[in-house]
Amino acid sequence: MKTFLFRNKLLTFALIFVAFQVLLAVLAPTLGFQDPYNQVMIQRMKPPSAINFLGTDQLGRDVLARIIYGYRTSLVTCLTAVGIALVIGGMLGMLSAFYRGWIDRIVMRFMDILFAFPILLLAIGVIAVIGPSTWGAAIAIAIVYTPIFARLLRGPSLVIVESEYVMGARAIGASDARIIFSHLLPNLASVILVQVSLLLSAAILVEASLSFLGLGAQPPTPSLGLMLSEGRNFLLLSPWPATFSGFAILFLSFGFNLLGDALRDTLDPRLRTQD
C-alpha cells in the first residue's frame, strides 16, 4: 500500500511537471512574454536582469521568451513525429501480429531495415533529402520511430491475438476490424501510453541534436537545440543562452521520461521488464 501511494506521488509529480511545461508552451502568447523575434541590438548578450529574466542572446532577443517559444517548437515537432510514428508503426505492428505469415514477414523485415540504421544518421539522411526545417525534423524522427513502435506493439499484440477471448471473438464471427479496434487496441492502451511518453522524451533529445547540427528548426524560429548550438559559440562571452537552453531541453525530456517511468510502474507491473 505504501509503495502504491509512493508510485502515485511520483506519477502526480511527473504529471504536474510535464503539464506545467506544456501549458507554458501552449499559453505562451497570452502570458505576456516578450516578442521572441524582436532584436534589440544595444542589449546583446546581456546577463539576466529585471527586464530579461534569463538574459539576451547574440541578437539582443529575450532568452526567456525564446525558450518558452522553443518549447512550442520542440513539442510541436516531437508530438507530430511520435504521433505519425505511432499511427503508422503501431498499425504495422498490430497488423503483422494479427495476420502473421507473409505480411508479418515482409513488414517486419522492412522495419528491420529501417531499424538497422543508427537513429541519428537515418534522421540526418532523411533531412538531407527533404531539407532542414522544423517539419523536416518531424518527418525524419517519425521515420526513425516507426520501426520502434512496430516492434514494440507487435509483441504484446501477438499475446493478445492468441488469448482465449480473441479466439472466442473469432469463433463467433467478429470481423477483423472489430477485433482490432475493440479487443486489440484497448488492451494495448497502457503499453502505448508508457511508450509514447518515453519516446517523446527521447524524441526531444533527437530533435535537439538535429537542431544542434543545424538540421532542425531554422532561424529565426526559436528552438532549444539551435539556441544551445549558437550559444556554445560564445559560451565565455555570455554563457546564459547555452546554459538555460540546455536546462530547458533537460527538463522537457526529463519530465516525459519520469512520466513514462511512473506510468509504467503504476499501470502494469508486468511491463517493467520490457524496455
Q: Is 10 in the site for another protein (CB under 8 A)?
A: yes
- DSSP secondary structure code for residue 50 in this structure: S
Q: How far apart are CA 129 and CA 210, in angstroms?
A: 14
Listed in sequence order, the residues at least 6 apart from 241 whose beta carbon sits closer than 8 Å to its beta carbon are 55, 57, 58, 63, 66, 227, 228, 230, 231
What's the closest the beta carbon of residue 169 comes to another protein, in angstroms? 26
Which range, of 71-79, 90-98, 121-129, 164-172, touches another protein by CB under 8 A?
Answer: 121-129
Residues 190-209 close enough to bind another protein by CB under 8 A: 201, 204-205, 208-209
Nearest to 253 by CA among 10, 44, 14, 33: 14
Q: Is the torsion defined by CA of 57, 31, 22, 80 positive or negative?
A: negative
CB of 190 to another protein, least distance (A): 15
At position 92, the amino acid (one-letter code) is L
> Is 151 an interacting residue with respect to another protein (CB under 8 A)?
no
Q: Binding string, 224-243, against another protein, x = CB under 8 A?
A: ----x-x-xxxxxx----x-
Instruction: Write out the E strands in the chain.
Output: none
C-beta separation of 48 from 208 below 8 A: no
Residue from 30, 32, 116, 171 touching another protein (CB under 8 A): that is 116
Q: Which is nearer to another protein, 178 or 272 (CB)?
A: 272
Closer by beta carbon to another protein, 83 or else 214: 214
Contact flag: residue 77 with another protein (CB under 8 A): no
Give the angle 107-108-114 at the CA atoms, nearest 5°: 100
Nearest to 63 by CA among 264, 218, 230, 178: 230
Site string (26-55) toward another protein, x via CB under 8 A = -----------xxx-x--x-----------
Which residues contact another protein (rule: CB under 8 A)? 2-3, 6, 10, 37-39, 41, 44, 58-60, 109-110, 112-114, 116-121, 124-126, 128-129, 131-133, 201, 204-205, 208-209, 212-214, 218-220, 228, 230, 232-237, 242, 246, 249-250, 253-254, 257-258, 261, 269, 272-275
